[in-house]
Amino acid sequence: MAEALVSVLLEQLASIIHQQVEKHVTLVVNVEKDVENLTHNFRAIGAVLKDAEERQVKEASVKLWLDDLKDVSNEMEDVLDDWNTGILRLHIEKQEKEESGNAVDTTKKKVRLCIHTAFFCSGKVSRVIYRHDIAQKIKDLNERLATIANWSQNLNFQYTKSGTKHVERQKTTSFVDQTFGRVDEKELLVAKLLSKSNPEGQSSLVIPIVGMGGIGKTTLSQLAYNDDRVKANFTKQIWVCVSEPFDELNIAKDIIGQLDGNVNSISSNLEAYFQCVRKSIEGEKFLLVLDDVWNEDYGKWEKLKIVLQKGDVGSKIVVTTRKEEVAGMMGAADNTINLKVLSDENCWLLFNRIAFTDRNQDECKILDPIGREIVKKCKGLPLVAKTLGGLMRVKKTKKEWQDVLSNEIWELDTLFGQPVSQQVFQPLLLSYYDLDPIIKRCLLYCGTFPKNHIIDKNDLIELWMSQSYFGSIRNTEKTTVDIGESYFSNLVTRYFFQDFVKDKFGKIKRCKMHDIVHDFLQFLTKNECSVLDVQGKTNVEVPVRNKIRHLTITSARDGPFSVSFDSRGSLRTLATFSCQITSLNQEFVSQLKCVRTLNLSNNRVEELPEKVGGLVHLRYLDLSCNNWKRLPDTLCNLINLETLRLEKCRGLEELPEGMGKLTNLRHLRVKNSNALKLPKSIAKLTSLQTLDQVNIFHDGSKASDLRNMDQLQGKLEVCWWKPVNDAAKKYAEQVNLVNKKHLVSLTLSLWDAERDSIIQEEILNALQPNPNLEALKIAWYSGTTLCPRWLNVSLHNLKHLAFHACYGCEFLPLLVLGKLVSLEILRFRKMRKLKKVGHALESSSSSSSSLEVTLFPKLKKLVFVGLEEWEEWEGMPAGLSEDSLASIKVMPDLSTLEIENCYKLKTLPDFLWKTPLQNLSINRSRILREGMEWHKISHIPNIKIDHVIPSRLIVD
């Protein structure tokens, strides 16, 4: 990690000097000699860091040297950030003076930026003191660094060529190791889940899966959980990650969240949550997985067990644990599945599937014998086989493979002077040391999450950015997001992440870390990272560890919150998870002077202290899911802020007017914050890359704020609330969506009464997106013409199209959309007036030539939900000749058709029988079900009617 830190510091030194010249502002003078010495010492130290990082594992003196170096480097990073922030402040002041001098109307109130007192708000005297303070700190740290550089000479390090290697995005694989030695265990577990017999008097049967860490308990549970036979056997399925401690309240919240989706309305006491669980599972035949249980306290288990017995007979509870005592405590020892290690052959098959990807036969023949020796190191653990497979996959030569096999790490009983409790740590350490230095820092940061935390990929990349792990990206075509994506991909390839959830484009959006990997990261960062479960406390005392940089608090309950510990000044991260904090201590907030990442999401705080404006190093601020009424104007002092998250802040009506001062802001997430108003000054933030939701009101005059935000990327939702007059069309054009070429997904929500359907049609036509768009959703639209003029004309890359709650449409010309050549998924939901789905193709205009026409050439999935008045679905136009019909192909790739809550639909169109349908699902559509022509659908492999596979299919 020190390698990457030193590299970033060298880059920061060069960047600061560059900024002083580029911005024509000078903050600190007469430090040229010190900067020169710093650069020299850091470069000299950087040349030996690779050797030092590897030797620290077994040499205590080297580890001590590295620890001192990291301390100095971290302090230097803070000083350089102070320096850089001061330069930025001077630049902003200069711009404000220029704007003030050019202002025509000086009577209007101007929003001024007022940096915290530490940043010379009190005038020239304070500014001089501030400059001197930076210069003195640089001098002091330079002396300490010189001492460390001299010390290194006594440690006889080997020099290596400096510089960071270029990291390519690695190819990933999506296979599941379900066939490698777990077939019998899976069938045994499935049989237990499908069995009808439960112990007398119990509606729920507990099935423990016991085995050592990394042996595949969770994987086995997932395989059974997702088996179609199991899914059909239960009305509800719930998956809860437990880990340590066994918190009944959090378990109850997870169960409710998965069943009902709403836990915010429940009071915070345990009994209230248990009552809600009882109601949710009563009469339901459920499957509950409690993953990674350590608790041996029967008292805690009994409270939850009593609640879980309210389910229907046949309900099952699967428990994964490393401890046989847990199975005994739960009274389920006789029903336990003891998971054994894999055989060497099955380990080899798993390793081989990963390590030998994309290799030719000659390479495989040379590397095969070495690979089989490496597999013996796996000791039958699938996690080790995958980790080593991911490592060897990037090793190209026989020598590189031999070096891994003969590495002395395999023989170590202690790492960093500590006994190794997990035999998985050695292979993980091998893979860790093989990473690029910057990616090592990114991986270690993941140790700040609680165990089993669901990690959002985009959020993770923004967290890495907040810690300045990527350095400067000047003179490169890649954005920070691009760089973060490549680092994430590299870690995926090395199997540091798992349990992936993908978006509709097939890209990973969420993942988790194996609990052993999490233990490994906390082992490596035990002096710098702390995940502290406070079990309901609000005033937390953290054990004195002066080097702590990242602090995570879990399970703080109702009440004001503060933390007492000596190293607040060095904190870079403070995050809360599974907490319900109601207020923040002002003094506590003001002392987080070096914090760059502050996550206060999912609490119950109503007021953010004014002193938050003094946290000028802050890059990432997550205030989502709180009860904010307003945010302080001092928020606009955070001139380094890059990410601001305000999702689901339903009581927040507007943001401070000075938001336009946050020129470094790149990601503003406000989705599901109801009718949140963005200030006019937001238009100045033309470098925004993420703005997930924009609310536009009435005439739409604020729509023009989006005009120049052409760097927006990813997803955007435009919510237009009650457009009322002709001016709305003009403002809709000013949104300028057509120039936002980096947007991938767009939602257009036009909330209005039906009387304004003409205005809505004009607005929708004016909101023409860029041709690069891949996903489009049109919602709450009352125009009678469903499809805007631009839909078929320009969106040739569109893969996903959805219409939701479009209440003005009575007729849907479905086949008109067939010109969307890239469309793969098409959905229609809650169109309450729709009566007929037709073709809108006239027989005279349809092709009578021999040229083939293909409509929906790539469509794979078609969904209709909640079309309550829909009666008729027309096929091809009447009157077409047989030659014309033969020349028109419709949906030649269609594999899935879903119809739900379409109560009046009578029959399906003839052209569907010519499509290669594989999956047909019809639910709560009685007339269609009762009048179904069964002989026409018997060729479809997978059919479900009202969630049941029909037994009455007749094949002629």
- Predicted pLDDT at 799: 96
Q: Which tokens hold the place of 904? A: 């009046």
Q: What is the mean pLDDT of residues 817-831?
A: 94
Highest mean predicted confidence (pLDDT) among 115-124, 340-349, 696-705: 340-349
Question: How far apart are alpha carbons 510 and 501 in whole angstroms?
Answer: 5
- Predicted pLDDT at 57: 83
Residue with more model confidence, 588 or 664: 664
- Predicted pLDDT at 313: 86
Write the pLDDT tens digit of every residue in 274-319.
Answer: 888 888 888 889 999 999 998 888 888 888 888 888 888 889 999 9
Contact between residue 928 and residue 900 where contact means Cβ atoms under 8 Å apart? no
Instruction: Give percent above pLDDT 90 in the chain.
Output: 41
Q: What is the mean pLDDT of residues 413-420?
A: 72
Q: What is the mean pLDDT of residues 539-564?
A: 74
Question: How far apart are alpha carbons 566 and 568 in whole angstroms?
Answer: 6
Of the ranges 38-42, 555-559, 602-606, which one carries the lowest mean pLDDT score? 555-559
Q: What are phi and psi of 18, to 5 degrees?
A: -65, -40
Residue 233 pLDDT > 70: yes
Contact between residue 582 and residue 603 where contact means Cβ atoms under 8 Å apart? yes
Highest mean predicted confidence (pLDDT) among 8-12, 204-208, 720-724: 204-208
Write the pLDDT tens digit of every residue in 774-818.
Answer: 999 999 998 888 889 899 888 999 999 999 999 888 999 888 899
Residue 588 pLDDT > 90: no
Residue with more model confidence, 47 or 895: 895
pLDDT band at 831 (very low <50, low <70, confident <90, very high): very high
- Predicted pLDDT at 955: 42
Cα 578–Cα 584–Cα 585 angle in degrees, nearest 5: 135
pLDDT band at 758 (very low <50, low <70, confident <90, very high): confident
Helix, strand, coil shares, percent, the chain, to 5: 40, 15, 45
**CA-based nearest residue to 320, from 283, 296, 354, 294:** 294
Q: What is the mean pLDDT of residues 167-182?
A: 52
Amino acid at 284: E
Highest mean predicted confidence (pLDDT) among 91-105, 529-543, 676-690: 676-690
**DSSP string covering 452-474:** TPPEEHHHHHHHHHHTTTT---T
Average pLDDT score, the chain: 84
Residue 426 pLDDT > 50: yes
Highest mean predicted confidence (pLDDT) among 122-136, 517-531, 551-565: 517-531
Q: Which tokens hold the place of 591? A: 């002392």
- Predicted pLDDT at 22: 54
Instruction: Give percent above pLDDT 70 in the chain.
Output: 84
Pairing of strands 919-923, 872-873: unpaired
Residue 129 pLDDT > 60: no
Residue 467 pLDDT > 50: yes
Write the pLDDT tens digit of every residue in 486-520.
Answer: 999 999 999 999 999 998 888 899 999 999 999 99
CA atoms 540, 541, 546, 548: torsion sign: negative
Write the pLDDT tens digit of every residue in 12-59.
Answer: 777 766 665 555 445 566 667 877 888 888 888 888 888 888 888 888
Q: What is the mean pLDDT of residues 860-871?
A: 96
Kindly calculate the radius of gyration of the chain based on its CA atoms and give it in whole angstroms. Answer: 31
**Distance from chain centroid for Cα 249:** 25
pLDDT band at 460 (very low <50, low <70, confident <90, very high): very high
pLDDT band at 177 (very low <50, low <70, confident <90, very high): very low
Highest mean predicted confidence (pLDDT) among 7-16, 381-390, 748-757, 876-885: 381-390
